[in-house]
Amino acid sequence: MSTYLRHLTAISAFKGPHMYATLFSAYRATFRLLPLALCLLTVHPLSAASRAHAPQQGHSQRSSPDQPQAEASAPLPAPIKNLFWQPNDLQQGSPTLFTIEFERVPTRVSAKWIGKNLSFFKSSDPKVWLALAGADLETAPGSYNLTVAATFSGGKIVHAVKQVDIAAANFQSGAVDVPENFVEPDAAAKRQIAADGILKRRAFSHLIPAPQWSGNFVSPVEAKPTNSFGKQRVFNEELTSTHRGTDFPIKEGATVVVSNSGTVLLAKELFYEGNCVIVDHGQSFYTTYMHLSRIDVKPGERLTKGAKIGLSGATGRATGPHLHMGVRWNGAYLDPTRLLALTLPKLGANGPTNPAATAAKRQASVHHRRR
Ligand SMILES: [Zn+2]
């Protein structure tokens, strides 16, 4: 953890913007060359597509990607020593890890960003708090204030504000042909879509207070992803929708693994998604896996990163075998390829996700939010 933080602090202070800009340029160039998406998943009818948020600051406030973010914000009040995020260059759909370093240990850290509450958790160093979050793909480009409130013993609350810039993403577009029932569902299909929506809403309102992930998220299949996140598709020349995940072209029957540790919330065949698995990684961060030919896990099952969840396939609305991976945080749809590119700390034996130490506590605290 300490090595990780020294690494990130150094990146943030000295070479972050350049380093990440270079990395992401290469990254984007790579994915642009890959084949077009196969997946036909569209607007999840009942999963409440996020609406674009108006930026709190105008575009004139946006700092250049080559400038450190700190220059755009007021000095941090003591005892907040440092506040940074990776990657430095965020765009529509980017997942991000926020890190706050304190001079003394707070008892609670909360924050708001783009209208959403962030859950900060204490790292193995109690003076360093982390939050895994992200900007929804429909977030309007601009600068957004991250407003932090840190509570210290005695009840003193320290506030800090930092501007975080979201750049426009270069999403693709294209036409797709599918069986008509996937564009104009009949009565029976509509009933199933409505029932699926209830199940998905319930899954995405599940709350595990502590993170269950640890270290980097890994590719769910041994295949390269397409540049398909955020793609605008027109189905059968009549229905326009946004692709809210990433497709990995892969033959039927290939092993699909869970991208990070977590708990299975849903493992079931749905109308559009086909055989679908939703995994909760804690603190409202979820990954989804769709179109599977076989599901090998059950709801409630606790998975370790890399565990097999099933086999790839072409069930649901798909033109051919592939895996659709989705990433959701707090109602936002995030870019899976950018999540896979994040360098994340291991939350090990002394961290908040030690299974032995927290199993009983977690069992007692897992619950559904009231709606
Ligand atoms: Zn897809």
Q: How many CB atoms lie within 10 A of CB 117?
A: 12
What is the whole-number distance in angstroms between the Cα of residue 367 and the centre of ligand 1? 30
Query: Alpha helix (H) ranges present in the chain?
Result: 2-10, 16-32, 187-203, 336-340, 355-365
- CA 304/CA 263 separation, integer angstroms: 9
Q: Do 332 and 184 lie in a common domain?
A: yes
| pLDDT above 80 for 369 | no
Instruction: Give residue 25 CA to ligand 1 midpoint distance, Å.
Output: 23
In a domain, 207, yes or no: yes
Inform me whether the pLDDT recorded for 165 exceeds 60. yes
**221 CA → ligand 1 middle, Å:** 14
> At residue 211, does pLDDT exceed 60?
yes
The answer to whether position 267 is within a domain reads: yes
Domains contained in the chain, number: 3
Report the CATH number that the domain containing residue 238 is assigned in CATH.
2.70.70.10
3-state secondary structure of 346: coil
Q: What is the pLDDT of residue 26?
A: 40
Residue 60 has pLDDT above 50, yes or no: no
Residue 242 has pLDDT above 50, yes or no: yes
Predicted pLDDT at 364: 37
Residues 281 and 277: their CA atoms lie apart, in Å, by 13
Q: Are residues 118 and 219 in the same domain?
A: no
d(CA 345, ligand 1 centre) in Å? 28
Same domain, 21 and 103: no
Mean pLDDT across the chain: 80
Instruction: Give 68-114 pLDDT, tens digit per residue.
Output: 344 455 788 889 999 999 999 999 999 999 999 999 999 999 999 99
Q: 92: domain CATH number? A: 2.60.40.1220
176 CA → ligand 1 middle, Å: 12
Spacing, Cα 274 to ligand 1 middle (Å): 11
Residue 73 has what pLDDT? Answer: 59
3-state secondary structure of 51: coil
Q: Are residues 34 and 89 in the same domain?
A: no
Flag whether 360 is in a domain: no
Q: What pLDDT shows up at residue 119?
A: 87
For residue 324, list its beta bridge partners: 247, 290
| Mean pLDDT across 125-135 | 97
Establish if 311 belongs to a structural domain. Answer: yes
Pair 254, 330 in one domain: yes
State which of 108, 142, 167 marks the end of a domain.
Answer: 167
The proportion of the chain whose per-residue pLDDT surpasses 90, expressed as a percent, equals: 65
Q: What is the pLDDT of residue 27?
A: 37
228 three-class SS: coil
Question: Are residues 186 and 293 both part of a single domain?
Answer: yes
Task: Say if residue 250 is in the same domain as residue 110.
Answer: no
Our measurement of the distance from residue 177's CA atom to the centroid of its chain's CA atoms, rounded to an integer in Å, reads 29
Q: How far apart are CA 208 and CA 285, in angstroms?
A: 9
Pair 179, 295 in one domain:
yes
* Cα–ligand 1 centroid distance for 34 (angstroms): 15
Cα of 240 vs centre of ligand 1, distance in Å, is 14
The answer as to whether 275 is a domain residue is yes
Give domain status of residue 221, yes or no: yes
**pLDDT at position 293 over 70:** yes
Which domain, by its residues, includes 279?
173-341
What is the Å distance from ligand 1's center to 140 Cα? Answer: 23
